[in-house]
Amino acid sequence: MPPYAGPSAARAGDVAGTLRLLAYLALSVTLIVLDHRGGWLHQARQQAGLVVGPLLAVAGWPGRMAERLRDDAGTLSQLSVENRRLRNELLVNHARMARMTTVAADNARLRDLLDTARRGSLDVQLAPVLDVDLDPTRQRLLLDAGSSDGVRTGQSVIDAGGLLGQVIDVTPMHSTVLLLTDADHAVPVAIARNGVRLVAYGRGRSDTLALASIPLSSDVKVGDMVVTSGLGGRFPPGFPVGEITALRPDESRAFLVGDLRPAAQLDRGRDVLLLRSAPARAPIGPVDANVDPAATGDESGVAATAGQGADGRAAGSNATDQPTTTSTTARAAPGNGAPATEPVNKAANRTTHKPALQPVSKPATQRTTQPRETRR
């Protein structure tokens, strides 16, 4: 059809064009409906897809290029933003983890305490620590439990590791614990391995105790576990006190002095256990029956040996005075003090007529088995 046709020709062309349009329209509408309704065009479309695939790939190429370019160009800023974000997250996560660690440690400690109480089927009472007083002259704890909670003076205080100290002062709401490591504190102990009896003194430092006047001939070695001997009745026997970390001759060269690392965690934890009575089912039967009155006991008798706090040394010297009057202060004169400890026990063995001491001396011989059990 010529571009510039006359009016009549154009009209004829118009009619023909309209008819063709209608035909094509009908065709396309049919196709649309067919495609929309049924899926029979699916096959054809899949075949076409094979041809169209490369077309799509070519079409996608500039997009991929642009994307790569943008990636490369935006890398620095993106990375720095991401870096900042990740750093923040790291901080937050660290904080979270630190909290979790604390909680986990708490949990472990409480579990230990619970375990301790359960293991020896001890009658204990959990007491929160209110205040800690750790300086060279005073090593004390203030507990948030007092006489209204059943706390009494003289009770032994332990934690998961071992002996902590003893209660020396009780008010209705609070009580004060003298720690093993107080310079005024001494506790009668025995080597767990062989039952050699010694006295452990506090030094005013929370990480060490002193063993004084160890006879050169006695079988004491570095690494030995030291447990309470129960002598004197103030502390029940068999609680871990510490481990010997060093032994050296004293000035007189006649005795050894030793360093002891406390078994209890004196500078850690927020709760302690107050021992209400000695192990109910300890391996040695008669001990418990007799230690009980001693532990609950009156400070009147011989029960107050070396472990009685500020005036403990005086009491201790009283106790040691019985067999031999020579020892005034065990630490000041180790040469004299050392034999003093030995006679104490001999005296204990000899003076079997004394009810308080008699049972205590028995476990001294059998102690080799007992502490092992408490140590597991």
Partner 1 sequence: MRTHSHWVLPVSLLVALLLGLLPLPPMLQPLRPYWLALVVAYWVIEDPNRVGLGFAFLVGLLADLSFGSLFGEQALRLLVMAFILQRFRARLRFFPLSQQALAIGGLLLNDRIIVAAVQIVLGKPSLPAMFWLAPLAGMVLWAPVFLLLDALRLGNWRRR
Instruction: With CA atoms as reference, report the closest residue to 212 among 178, 166, 256, 242.
Output: 256
Q: How far is the CB of 71 from partner 1 (least distance, A)?
A: 14
Cβ(311)–Cβ(216) below 8 Å? no
Q: How far is the CB of 69 from partner 1 (least distance, A)?
A: 13
Q: How far is the CB of 59 from partner 1 (least distance, A)?
A: 3
Pick between residue 44 and residue 98 the one whose CB is nearest to partner 1.
44
Residue 3 touches partner 1, criterion: CB under 8 A: yes
Select the span of 20-28, 86-94, 196-204, 215-223 touching partner 1 (CB under 8 A). 20-28
Cα–Cα dist 157/271, whole Å: 11
Residue 119 touches partner 1, criterion: CB under 8 A: no
Select the span of 21-29, 122-130, 241-249, 351-359 touching partner 1 (CB under 8 A). 21-29
Residue 62 touches partner 1, criterion: CB under 8 A: yes
Pick between residue 55 and residue 353 the one whose CB is nearest to partner 1.
55
Cβ(233)–Cβ(298) below 8 Å? no
Residue 69 touches partner 1, criterion: CB under 8 A: no
Pick between residue 27 and residue 332 the one whose CB is nearest to partner 1.
27
Q: How many CA atoms, within 13 angstroms, populate the side-chain half-sphere of residue 44?
A: 7
Cα–Cα dist 205/343, whole Å: 29
Structure tokens at 12: 């004829």
DSSP 299: S
Q: Is 376 helix (H, G, I), strand (E, B) or coil?
A: coil
Residue 28 touches partner 1, criterion: CB under 8 A: yes
Residue 50 touches partner 1, criterion: CB under 8 A: no
Q: Is 253 left (phi over 0), alpha (psi -120 to 50) or beta?
A: left
Residues 6+ apart with CB under 8 A from 161: 240, 262, 263, 264, 265
Query: According to CB under 8 A, which one of 9, 12, 15, 20 is a site residue for partner 1?
Result: 20
Pick between residue 54 and residue 223 the one whose CB is nearest to partner 1.
54
Q: How far is the CB of 41 from partner 1 (least distance, A)?
A: 5
Residues 6+ apart with CB under 8 A from 203: 181, 183, 209, 210
Select the span of 43-51, 147-155, 199-207, 225-233 touching partner 1 (CB under 8 A). 43-51
- Token pair 């979270």 is at which residue? 96
Tell me the C-alpha to C-alpha distance, in Å, between residue 277 and each of 41, 152, 236, 317. Answer: 92, 11, 8, 26
Q: How far is the CB of 103 from partner 1 (least distance, A)?
A: 46
Query: According to CB under 8 A, which one of 9, 12, 15, 21 is a site residue for partner 1?
Result: 21
Q: How far is the CB of 16 from partner 1 (least distance, A)?
A: 10
For residue 16, the Cα-to-chain-centroid distance in whole angstroms is 97
Pick between residue 46 and residue 217 the one whose CB is nearest to partner 1.
46
Instruction: With CA atoms as reference, report the closest residue to 188 among 231, 157, 156.
Output: 231
Instruction: With CA atoms as reference, report the closest residue to 291 among 342, 341, 363.
Output: 363
Pick between residue 61 and residue 355 the one whose CB is nearest to partner 1.
61
Residue 45 touches partner 1, criterion: CB under 8 A: yes
Select the span of 17-25, 155-163, 241-249, 352-360 touching partner 1 (CB under 8 A). 17-25
How many residues at the interface with partner 1, by CB under 8 A? 32
Q: List residues near partner 1 by CB under 8 A.
A: 1, 3-4, 14, 17-18, 20-21, 24-25, 27-32, 34-36, 41, 44-45, 48, 51-52, 55-56, 58-60, 62-63
